Chain A
């Protein structure tokens, strides 16, 4: 009696988990070698003075926190450059992200609405996603050509008498930042729409029906049913968009030919970092990377806390009722 029983228990303990680990192993190995180790090396490098003068390597010499101190020491006019560039980055991101989320939410609601039942959705979804398929650098080059002093837009505006010949889109903070934000918006609103649509479609349809039967209008349904239940996906979208925003580089780099003109008001954090990479200044570039990492972490945490707090309150009375 004992013998077969023991066999049975042994069979029960057979685990297929190892296959799971084996299948996810390639990702983790790649991640370890190509992301995690380099990340630690970046932090490590940020404590060294290490750059090239021509073909000569200077350093690496351990300098402690000197690179960080340099980054936060004000220049001759009293500006702390890294803060200025961080501010530029956030402002440009914000003016692009605001319409991005408003438009994406609107489109997602319209497309998923059973009342409207829009036809040809596949077509529209493809079209709004299209700009994302263009390489950012190419898109940026296109804008540069369109808005340049000898470009078609300038010619058109001159013809209409809106601007005169001396006008230059690239001489004004507002227009340059606006162009970058517009490009980011065009490139990303389609992507956000599709993710938010998936989120809305994941919400139980009976909730919408129940709300309607209770007499809720569309606006009420949106704010009282859709948004609270969409919150996890929305926060995810917002945080990923923000991470992408803090790392904004290719669009402004190409548009302003690396200068961040006018007066460096379109220079982002990663463009600043890239400036140091001209001569392989891994110390300073490392320090900036670490700061970007911290900024991303803090902002991400802040958004998560702020938005998901609202989402969690829905659960509290439930828990209380139980307890």
Chain B
């Protein structure tokens, strides 16, 4: 009997503890005092690095990072779990801020789990890029967060290979030779003839196409739609694989990034400013790398890729700190300048961008040949539009690439690959009508 009592007591105590913590949160939100623990959900260490370098955490506050990888939707599912539990969590366990990518930001912005940042005293500035504000706003135009970067993307090419293939490595001349897809394809054939690859991954150009889609993945009636742009990408990739212009590696695979070493045989890579630090570390390798052998140009089609938004979580008890972080990474010109000069980022501050774009002494030497990449990106950034996004984008883009990779590798035929993709959608999003 005693044992039973002990068990009952333990259960009773657990319930008591849970209900107590519930009570605590209610009082905490009423009070104006700020919390002691600041919880941030993220999917990688990228922003954490900048945060630790450029943001001074108020005294007495501990920052707690909860990092889960985004592959297979792990980050989203862990975050969802925490957000759904947000109301019941103890004040110090509540998420204060979380990071979201372009591919699924809408899911969180258009929900009650993010809060209006004007309510915490942050006003959007004219120096922020318009699309970054639109992406972080819900369907009523209420803004729920900010982006610390702006992600116009370009073609990053190897100068030495361009010289060999095209006879020039001058950005203006290279751009003139690859400014349409037809010309790009023609150059790919030339590169192949010289023993080079045009790109190093079957999905390298995917974002350029998917970003220029004219309709979203899923329409208002939850019906899946294939945009012509996606089909154009599939056609192009079929052609590239058949002719050996590209490799069958995925965008994040080591086989691809190994092509960035000095002895790599690939001419073009597609990416925004974050691509340098995040994907091109092989190129920056002091021994095997090839710093200075790179330049950027717009390429055949303007697009943007990714971006990291910082969203304010409803229920945060650190609203002052939230506002402070938002201001540091968007309005603080000193920090934004350092993001450029020390970290090779493209900041979400037009004033700082203009300063660097017009500065004749500025040049990117961390990886490029001293070219003013900010000037190139600035020209592309102003045209970025935020449209045709759905909450399903991440897993649909990822799924399509994964299933088609098998087709491009020659393991399965196209029909089977597409069948597998549809099956994947059926499992992942039962509500989407195929």
Partners in one complex: yes
- A269 CB → nearest B CB, Å: 13
Q: A25-B3, A52-B80, A259-B402 are in contact. List 14 more A-B contacts (CB 8 A).
A: A51-B431, A76-B419, A81-B423, A148-B255, A149-B255, A150-B254, A171-B406, A171-B411, A257-B72, A263-B420, A275-B427, A276-B427, A279-B430, A284-B430
Taking the complex as formed, is A192 at the interface, i.e. its CB lies under 8 A from any CB of chain B?
A: no
- A115 CB → nearest B CB, Å: 51
Complex A-B: 18 CB contacts under 8 Å: A52-B80, A55-B113, A148-B254, A148-B255, A149-B253, A149-B255, A168-B248, A257-B71, A257-B402, A258-B71, A262-B406, A263-B406, A275-B428, A278-B72, A278-B427, A279-B429, A281-B427, A281-B430
Q: State in angstroms the CA–CA spacing of A55 and B248 once bound together.
A: 35
Contact for B111 among A22, A54, A278, A280, CB less than 8 A:
A54
- B420 CB → nearest A CB, Å: 6
Q: Which of B98-150 contact A (CB under 8 A)?
A: 107-108, 111, 113
Q: Which of A258-312 contact B (CB under 8 A)?
A: 258-259, 261-264, 272, 275-276, 278-281, 284
Taking the complex as formed, is B325 at the interface, i.e. its CB lies under 8 A from any CB of chain A?
A: no
Q: State in angstroms the CA–CA spacing of A247 and B103 once bound together.
A: 33
| Residue of chain A at shortest CB distance from B244 | A166
CB neighbours of A262 from chain B (8 A) = 406, 409, 411-412
Contact assessment for B249 and A149 in the assembled complex, using a CB-CB cutoff below 8 Å: yes
Q: State in angstroms the CA–CA spacing of A25 and B77 once bound together.
A: 36
- A59 CB → nearest B CB, Å: 10
Q: Which of B388-434 contact A (CB under 8 A)?
A: 391, 395, 402-403, 406, 409-412, 416, 419-420, 422-424, 427-431
CB neighbours of A280 from chain B (8 A) = 77
Judged by DSSP, the binding face of B is helix
Contact assessment for A75 and B419 in the assembled complex, using a CB-CB cutoff below 8 Å: yes
Binary per-residue interface labels of chain A (41-81) against chain B in the complex, 1 for a CB within 8 Å, 0 otherwise: 00000000001111100100000000000000001110001
Taking the complex as formed, is A98 at the interface, i.e. its CB lies under 8 A from any CB of chain B?
A: no
Contact assessment for B431 and A263 in the assembled complex, using a CB-CB cutoff below 8 Å: no
CB neighbours of B16 from chain A (8 A) = none
Taking the complex as formed, is B220 at the interface, i.e. its CB lies under 8 A from any CB of chain A?
A: no
Interface residues on A, range: 20 to 34
A residues contacting B by CB (< 8 A) are 22, 25, 29, 51-55, 58, 75-77, 81, 148-150, 168, 171, 257-259, 261-264, 272, 275-276, 278-281, 284
Taking the complex as formed, is B14 at the interface, i.e. its CB lies under 8 A from any CB of chain A?
A: no
CB neighbours of B353 from chain A (8 A) = none
- B264 CB → nearest A CB, Å: 12
- B401 CB → nearest A CB, Å: 11
Contact assessment for B258 and A54 in the assembled complex, using a CB-CB cutoff below 8 Å: no
| Residue of chain B at shortest CB distance from A23 | B3
Contact assessment for B72 and A55 in the assembled complex, using a CB-CB cutoff below 8 Å: no
Q: State in angstroms the CA–CA spacing of A223 and B391 once bound together.
A: 63
Taking the complex as formed, is B357 at the interface, i.e. its CB lies under 8 A from any CB of chain A?
A: no
- A23 CB → nearest B CB, Å: 10
What 4 pairs across the A-B complex have the smallest Cβ distances? A262-B411, A54-B107, A275-B427, A263-B412
Taking the complex as formed, is B57 at the interface, i.e. its CB lies under 8 A from any CB of chain A?
A: no
Contact assessment for B419 and A58 in the assembled complex, using a CB-CB cutoff below 8 Å: no
Contact assessment for B411 and A55 in the assembled complex, using a CB-CB cutoff below 8 Å: no
Contact for A55 among B107, B422, B429, CB less than 8 A:
B107
Taking the complex as formed, is B297 at the interface, i.e. its CB lies under 8 A from any CB of chain A?
A: no
CB neighbours of A278 from chain B (8 A) = 72-73, 77, 395, 427-428
CB neighbours of A149 from chain B (8 A) = 249, 253, 255
Contact assessment for A51 and B427 in the assembled complex, using a CB-CB cutoff below 8 Å: no
Contact assessment for A263 and B430 in the assembled complex, using a CB-CB cutoff below 8 Å: no
Contact assessment for B416 and A171 in the assembled complex, using a CB-CB cutoff below 8 Å: no
Contact assessment for A55 and B84 in the assembled complex, using a CB-CB cutoff below 8 Å: yes
| Residue of chain A at shortest CB distance from B417 | A263
| Residue of chain B at shortest CB distance from A253 | B72
Contact assessment for B431 and A53 in the assembled complex, using a CB-CB cutoff below 8 Å: yes
Assuming the A-B contacts A76-B419, A148-B254, are A51 and B430 also in contact, with contact meaning beta carbons closer than 8 angstroms in the complex?
A: yes
Contact assessment for B113 and A261 in the assembled complex, using a CB-CB cutoff below 8 Å: no
CB neighbours of B412 from chain A (8 A) = 262-263
